[in-house]
Amino acid sequence: MNSKSFGLLFYLKKPKGYVKGNRSIYLRITVNGIAKESSLQRTWDPDRWNSDSGRATGTKNDARALNAYLDTLEAKAHEARHQLILDSKTVTAAAVRNLLQGRAVDGERPRMLLEVFQHHNDQIAALIGKEYAPATLTRYKTALAHTRAYLEWKFKVLDLDIRKLNYEFISEFEFWFKSVQRCDHNTTMKYIACCKKIVLRCIRNGWLLRDPFIGFNMALREVNREALTEDELQVMAAKTFATDRLGQVRDAFLFSCYTGLAYADIHKLKRSEISSGIDGEKWIFTRRQKTESPTRLPILPAGMRILEKYANHPICQTKDRVLPILSNQKMNAYLKEIADCCGITKRLTFHIARHTFATTVTLGNGVPIETVSKMLGHKNLKTTQHYAKVLDRKVSQDMQVLKEKLNGKVYHCAEKGGEKR
């Protein structure tokens, strides 16, 4: 039966041999006449205490702060009682006290953060190809490894009871990512978001009373996404390199610029995934490795010339691939060398090709953002908006249209000393 009397009382306990001075503050929890006490690890002057209300007296800052703390603790005690009822557990003074102190209830084994995290990852692994992409599992595995390292660094433990999660845990986690791991802000938030998903699962299961993320700001910072200009694309396309390896890397990068495909998608792209589209021209029919979303996009003439160049390449023929692709790490290393050869000062990585497709190649030439979003394989238009910024050239074109509309309309400004109206 959970319909029992329930009482809470804060009081000052007089120790043995007490003469004068501050006393320890205790909380007495009473359920159906049976009481359990718990020290709050705080002391207070009995001359500034109201025994009837169980609160500090006066309006000084220290009294207000203490009373606010006691009010919060009282609310948590009622939440603990409510949680026991929801879990169909017997409400006792000891059970409420144990929940408040983050201890097991009735000998129940505490749920540990890394165990819950690992169970979550195991479920994702079982659903790869059905509901999740392999990259999702990789991200959560990395987040779990970071969480384990943080627990060892901060608490010197191999795992942590989820009931010990609080705001300090989260804020210190952010500090650890940025200081120890040297991650930037957005990368930090990406991994903390993985941890937040685990915490929310614990809350929904009734294992946590409060969300430790309340009040924690997880907003991402705006990132200036660089892209190549048309002039830089032309310089790179016309450049002759001393080695075939640099030329192959350049061609793969340009193919990404003309298709918007990410490195992983070009790396696995098969010849059989290229066929005639609705217009009779050559299209790419594939699925994005990251999201498993279908991608259908027409191949621009510049992209077709690159594919034709490697039609008889031995690696492409034996592996049924459209282009000979190195590892992502090697590609990015060679791209830095290519940038130097072409006089490009931007920090060139393979992912910049995707930005270039979204901005310079498509949006900059008037392709609607909805069409660009579909070709990029995005499920949300907001994702495309992060890639595709408004170009100066587009602003210039729009303003030129306005100039033509205003052509012939003369607006006169009143000259000094002119007629007043």
Amino acid letter for position 233 = L
Tell me what pLDDT residue 367 has.
83
Distance CA 159, CA 272 (A): 48
CA 6 → CA 56, 80, 102, 131, 334, distances in Å?
Answer: 23, 12, 20, 46, 71
> Nearest CA to 197 among 205, 183, 151, 182?
205
Tell me what pLDDT residue 250 has.
92
Tell me what pLDDT residue 181 has.
94
Residue ranges of domains in the chain: 6-100, 113-204, 230-393
Distance CA 411, CA 388 (A): 36
Structure tokens at 410: 């003369």
CA 184 → CA 144, 171, 187, 189, 385, distances in Å?
Answer: 18, 15, 5, 9, 21
Which CATH number does 230-393 carry?
Answer: 1.10.443.10
- Residue pair 29/111 in contact (Cβ under 8 Å)? The answer is no
- Residue pair 270/321 in contact (Cβ under 8 Å)? The answer is yes
Tell me what pLDDT residue 57 has.
95
Structure tokens at 311: 């039609």
- Residue pair 243/341 in contact (Cβ under 8 Å)? The answer is no
Tell me what pLDDT residue 1 has.
42
Tell me what pLDDT residue 393 has.
59
What is the pLDDT tens value at each position of the chain, 421 positions in all? 455 689 999 999 988 888 888 999 999 999 998 999 989 889 999 999 999 999 999 999 999 999 999 999 999 899 888 888 877 788 888 888 888 876 666 656 678 999 999 999 999 999 987 888 788 899 999 999 999 999 999 988 899 989 889 999 999 999 999 999 999 999 999 999 999 999 999 988 878 878 999 999 998 887 777 888 888 999 999 988 888 889 999 999 999 999 988 888 888 888 888 888 888 888 988 887 776 677 888 899 999 999 999 888 888 888 888 888 888 889 899 999 999 999 998 888 888 998 898 888 888 888 888 888 888 877 777 767 766 555 565 667 677 877 877 776 655 555 555 454 4
